[in-house]
């Protein structure tokens, strides 16, 4: 049972089979975090698990991991080592080892992992599958045993980017019970020709030739797809990566489970115990100095992001054997974090994508982008996976059709108050342009609404300052291209301007020329266009 720590028969239904890393709560199944003495049985699903079930997935078990999610190798577990499906003498990658192997071998279609330092990306690369690490805080971590609470992410494994993205968006979103949950921003994502940031040649020294070849194959493929390669200064990312275990952040692991380790509970892994116990050697002065340094590296990284849209790195610099890790458990693991450890410290999202086998072993790359650019790396990762056309995991299967990644490119939020509202005669224009209804809204109390003499009938919203009313409407989101087409087709006396909402937000929305409203009936007292229409029978 080196892959599954707990396994149950598939629940009834036809949804995809799924597995959950055993540091994430599944109601009624023990949570061990890879340590028998830590086990407890939760009565409630973690938020991400509850949402996974709601999406139709059928959970069949809890998967093995590096104990307390501490490691990138997948060997630090008293439950055994999940066998790498390509070479049993190589590590499967960690800490989400069981989840990656379960997907790669076709035992499940999707699996949840966690990713604090690379645990959702390294196992994906070593098992020839996709691993999506979302923006920190997008997927709630309520019900997840913390490794470093401020950095932890729930990640998704699948054979394809499309499947992983579908799952990720199903489990993502704010959770009022989770203090680390974040309200997503919706940035305007670049499209078309992207700037792909790559490190200067000196940063690539010491990489195993197979991984260097896989990375170069990806560089060439992205250029073939029309993207531009942009050399960048990788040093702030390298320095931040080294600080995750070399600085005071390891003390957060001690804060999370250090008391259990100090109590000597059953089944502790000696390497994991040593790492967690070592966190107690850092004091608050060291922590604040490290925070100041990280702030500097974050600023320097931001300068590099102005030169690129996506950063491309090998997921790992090499693929160690079980014997190499046994001989140097700390050193081998540290080498594996070279291109992964900075991601959550510098607030990026990431997508690990396979790049093919060299000498029988899979390699992979990771696409990084700033926080909330998850859709960007998913779309680029899907295009890359489509172009490479590689075998999926260890199944021998290949993609049957190009992948489709649904999502919002940022675009523009547009407030509508009349004929474009849901159920009104011009709403189809928004729908045809791919518009998405966001929410019902009201203006601030500084507007008047008038019934215009147009066909079809439309209202005119005018800002008046004092003596105004709150007018109800809807907020829709259009892509930038769709917004341009939509705005260009608006006939006078209407146009798009800036509308102030009741909560203080400033959004784009329909406004009318004051002159056109001068002799029109003032219907502000009804509070909305549909209410006035209803009053007329």
**Claim to verify: residue 122 and residue 260 sit in the same structural domain:** yes
Q: State the pLDDT at residue 80.
A: 97
Q: Is 183 a member of any domain? A: no
| H or E segment and range at residue 378 | helix 374-388
Domain boundary among 338, 356, 388: 388
Domain boundary among 356, 388, 420: 388
| H or E segment and range at residue 376 | helix 374-388
**Claim to verify: residue 431 and residue 363 sit in the same structural domain:** no
Please give the Cα distance from 357 to 367 (Å, whole number).
Answer: 19
Taking only the tens of pLDDT, the chain with its 537 residues reads: 599 999 999 999 999 999 999 999 999 999 999 999 999 999 999 999 999 999 999 999 999 999 999 999 999 999 999 999 999 999 999 999 999 999 999 999 999 999 999 999 999 999 999 999 999 999 999 999 999 999 999 999 999 999 999 999 999 999 999 999 998 887 778 878 999 999 999 999 999 999 999 999 999 999 999 999 999 999 999 999 999 999 899 999 999 999 999 999 999 999 999 999 999 999 999 999 999 999 999 999 999 999 999 999 999 999 999 999 999 999 999 999 999 999 999 999 999 999 999 999 999 999 999 999 999 999 999 999 999 999 999 999 999 999 999 887 777 889 999 999 999 999 999 988 878 788 899 999 999 999 999 989 999 999 997 889 999 999 998 887 789 999 999 999 999 999 999 999 999 999 999 999 999 999 999 999 999 999 997
> Of the residues 21, 62, 166, 458, which is catalytic?
21
> Of the residues 77, 96, 97, 119, which is catalytic?
119
Domain extent for 503: 412-535
Q: State the pLDDT at residue 1.
A: 58
Q: Is 403 a member of any domain? A: no
Q: Strands 110-114 and 154-158, how do they pair?
A: antiparallel
Q: State the pLDDT at residue 333.
A: 96
Count of structural domains within the chain = 2
Q: State the pLDDT at residue 411.
A: 79
Q: State the pLDDT at residue 123.
A: 98
Please give the Cα distance from 276 to 259 (Å, whole number).
Answer: 10
Q: State the pLDDT at residue 199.
A: 98
**Claim to verify: residue 382 and residue 424 sit in the same structural domain:** no
**Claim to verify: residue 107 and residue 203 sit in the same structural domain:** yes
**Claim to verify: residue 240 and residue 168 sit in the same structural domain:** yes
**Claim to verify: residue 220 and residue 320 sit in the same structural domain:** yes
Is 119 assigned a catalytic role?
Answer: yes
* Residue 93 tokens, joined: 């990658």
> Any idea what the CATH number is for the domain that residue 126 is in?
3.90.1300.10
Domain boundary among 352, 372, 388: 388
Please give the Cα distance from 254 to 257 (Å, whole number).
Answer: 6
Of 133, 132, 152, residue with least CA distance to 142: 152
Do 526 and 450 touch, CB atoms closer than 8 A? no
Q: Is 170 a member of any domain? A: yes
> Of the residues 77, 95, 212, 273, which is catalytic?
95
**Claim to verify: residue 46 and residue 92 sit in the same structural domain:** yes
DSSP for 79-129 reads T--PPPSS-TTB---SSSHHHHHHHHTTS-SEEEEE-SSSTTTHHHHHTT-
Q: Is 275 a member of any domain? A: yes
Of 152, 135, 139, residue with least CA distance to 95: 152
Q: Is 399 a member of any domain? A: no
Is 21 assigned a catalytic role?
Answer: yes
Q: Is 224 a member of any domain? A: yes
**Claim to verify: residue 367 and residue 423 sit in the same structural domain:** no
Q: Is 393 a member of any domain? A: no
| H or E segment and range at residue 362 | strand 361-370
**Claim to verify: residue 99 and residue 171 sit in the same structural domain:** yes
Do 447 and 436 touch, CB atoms closer than 8 A? no
**Claim to verify: residue 373 and residue 455 sit in the same structural domain:** no
Residues 6+ apart with CB under 8 A from 355: 214, 215, 217, 218, 362, 363, 364, 365, 388, 390
* The Cα angle at residue 257 between residues 255 and 259, in degrees rounded to 5: 85
Q: Is 404 a member of any domain? A: no
Helix axes 329-336, 270-278, angle to 10 degrees: 70
**Claim to verify: residue 418 and residue 296 sit in the same structural domain:** no
**Claim to verify: residue 276 and residue 373 sit in the same structural domain:** yes
Residues 6+ apart with CB under 8 A from 517: 448, 450, 452, 460, 462, 493
> Any idea what the CATH number is for the domain that residue 476 is in?
3.10.490.10
């Amino acid at each position: 049972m080196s892959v599954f720590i707990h396994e149950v028969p598939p629940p009834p239904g036809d949804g995809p089979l799924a597995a959950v890393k055993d540091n994430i709560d599944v109601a009624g199944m023990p949570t061990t975090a890879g340590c028998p003495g830590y086990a407890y049985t939760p009565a409630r699903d973690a938020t991400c698990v509850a949402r996974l079930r709601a999406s139709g997935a059928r959970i069949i078990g809890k998967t093995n991991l590096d104990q307390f999610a501490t490691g990138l190798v997948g060997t630090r577990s008293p439950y055994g080592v999940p066998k790498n499906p390509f070479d049993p003498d190589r590590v499967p990658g960690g800490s989400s080892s069981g989840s990656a192997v379960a997907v790669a071998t076709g035992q499940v279609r999707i699996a949840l992992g966690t990713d604090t330092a690379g645990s959702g990306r390294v196992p994906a690369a070593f098992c020839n599958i996709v691993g999506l690490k979302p923006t920190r805080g997008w997927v709630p971590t309520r019900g997840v045993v913390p490794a470093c609470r401020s950095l932890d992410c729930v990640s998704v494994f699948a054979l394809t980017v499309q499947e992983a993205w579908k799952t990720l968006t199903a489990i993502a979103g704010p959770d009022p019970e989770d203090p680390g949950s974040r309200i997503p921003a919706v940035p305007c994502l670049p499209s078309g020709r992207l700037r792909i940031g790559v490190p200067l040649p000196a940063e690539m020294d010491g990489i195993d030739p197979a991984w260097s070849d896989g990375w170069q194959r990806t560089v060439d493929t992205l250029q073939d797809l029309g993207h531009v390669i942009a050399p960048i200064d990788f040093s702030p990312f390298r320095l931040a990566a080294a600080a995750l275990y070399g600085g005071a952040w390891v003390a957060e692991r001690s804060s999370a489970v250090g008391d259990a380790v100090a109590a000597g509970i059953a089944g502790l892994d000696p390497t994991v115990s040593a790492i967690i116990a070592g966190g107690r050697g850092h004091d608050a002065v060291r922590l604040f100095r490290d925070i100041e340094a990280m702030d500097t590296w974050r600023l320097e990284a931001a300068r590099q992001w102005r030169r690129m849209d996506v950063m491309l790195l090998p997921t790992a610099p090499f693929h160690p054997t079980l014997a190499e890790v046994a001989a140097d458990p700390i050193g081998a693991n540290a080498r594996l974090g070279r291109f992964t450890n900075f991601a959550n410290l510098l607030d990026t999202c990431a997508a690990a994508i396979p790049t093919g086998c060299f000498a029988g072993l899979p390699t992979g790359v990771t696409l990084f982008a700033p926080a909330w650019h998850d859709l960007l790396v998913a779309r680029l990762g899907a295009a890359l996976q489509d172009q490479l056309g590689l075998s999926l995991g260890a199944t021998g299967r290949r993609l049957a059709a190009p992948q489709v990644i649904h999502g919002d490119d940022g675009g523009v939020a547009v407030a509508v108050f009349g004929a474009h509202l849901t159920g009104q005669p011009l709403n189809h224009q928004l729908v045809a342009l791919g518009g998405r209804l966001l929410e019902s809204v009201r203006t601030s109390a500084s507007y008047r609404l008038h019934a215009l003499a147009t066909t079809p009938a439309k209202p005119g919203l005018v800002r008046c300052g004092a003596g105004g009313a709150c007018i109800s409407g809807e907020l829709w989101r259009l892509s930038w291209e769709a917004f341009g087409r939509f705005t260009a087709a608006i006939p006078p006396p209407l146009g798009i301007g800036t509308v102030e909402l009741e909560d203080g937000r400033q959004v784009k929305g329909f406004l009318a020329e004051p002159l056109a409203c001068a002799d029109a009936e003032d219907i502000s007292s009804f509070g909305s266009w549909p209410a006035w229409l209803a009053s007329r029978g």
